[in-house]
Structure 1
Amino acid sequence: GAFGDDLWLAGLSWLDDNGRIPRSVSLTGSNIKAGDVTASETWTAANSPYLMTQQVFVKNGATLTVEPGTTILAYGNTYGNPGEGLAGAPALVIEQGARINAAGTADAPITFTSAVNEATLPAAGLWGGLIILGN
């Protein structure tokens, strides 16, 4: 990608001062999720957290497996400029014919949450949800 793994804006900008950048997390390119999942894949606890930057669609024939203990963060362009066409909270959408296999445990729950610190920016629209499209 065009940017490194560290968030260089942290501590240096109005965005950080006002809680509008994600909390500090360690990410690699493969942990940033957006767009279509067309082949089966597994999101592992060992590689967690995963950052969804827009809607993620698991397509017909693909299976998304999410291991116990995995954390999935959502960080969309909810606070972007009007007219950019990018606004909206990221959601995980399981389309008809696709599958999700996600079974957390009491000791290793699967956590879906906003990447924005909720204490500094409590607002609706930070996480779009898990949507399963049935028949």
Structure 2
Amino acid sequence: MKPQNDVTLEDMSFVNFTGNVYNGLCVDSGDISAHTTWDATEAVYILTGDVRVAFGTTLTLGAGVVIKFADVFLGANLLVNGTLLAQSTPDQPIYFTSIYDSTIGGASGNTTTTPSPGNWG
């Protein structure tokens, strides 16, 4: 997986995802092996497989970020062996939730499935 900080996500103020399996920024399984920041709030981050933060590495989450996990059967987990730095604020919390949760970040999974405990690891 290419480290996220190699990608510049500039003005995403008018992003619209439709007609896809997932509507958001999909993060496939792999290792984050360089200090990385996820701070785009215009779209949700969707983990479609296990993402590992390597030992000695920091994943920084900006205020207001939404991370959704695909179904647990796909192995979508965030595994942190390094550091997870969550920079939430009272006005801009960071959310970790299921792909089936349309109440946070909108409908991301093109499904009518209701979120429930155990949707993600």
TM bin (shorter chain): 0.5 to 0.7
User: Residue in 2 aligned with 1:109?
Assistant: 93
- Structure 1 residue 34: Cα displacement: 2.0
Note the alpha carbon deviations across 1:28-53, whole angstroms, 9 max, x for none: xxx42422111110000335411101
1:64 aligns with 2:39: no
- Answer with 1 or 2: which has the greater Rg: 1
Residue identity (%): 33
* Residue 122 to residue 43, structure 1, CA distance change in 2 (3 Å): closer
Runs (5+) with no aligned partner, structure 1: 10-21, 79-86, 129-135
1:99 aligns with 2:111: no
RMSD: 2.5
Alpha-carbon distance between aligned partners in 2 of 1:39 and 1:72, rounded to the nearest angstrom: 19
Alpha-carbon distance between aligned partners in 2 of 1:34 and 1:127, rounded to the nearest angstrom: 14
CA contact (8 A) 1:6 1:26 kept: no
Normalising to structure 2: TM-score of the pair?
A: 0.64
1:54 aligns with 2:49: yes
- Structure 1 residue 125: Cα displacement: 2.8
Normalising to structure 1: TM-score of the pair?
A: 0.59
* Residue 74 to residue 41, structure 1, CA distance change in 2 (3 Å): same
Aligned residues: 96
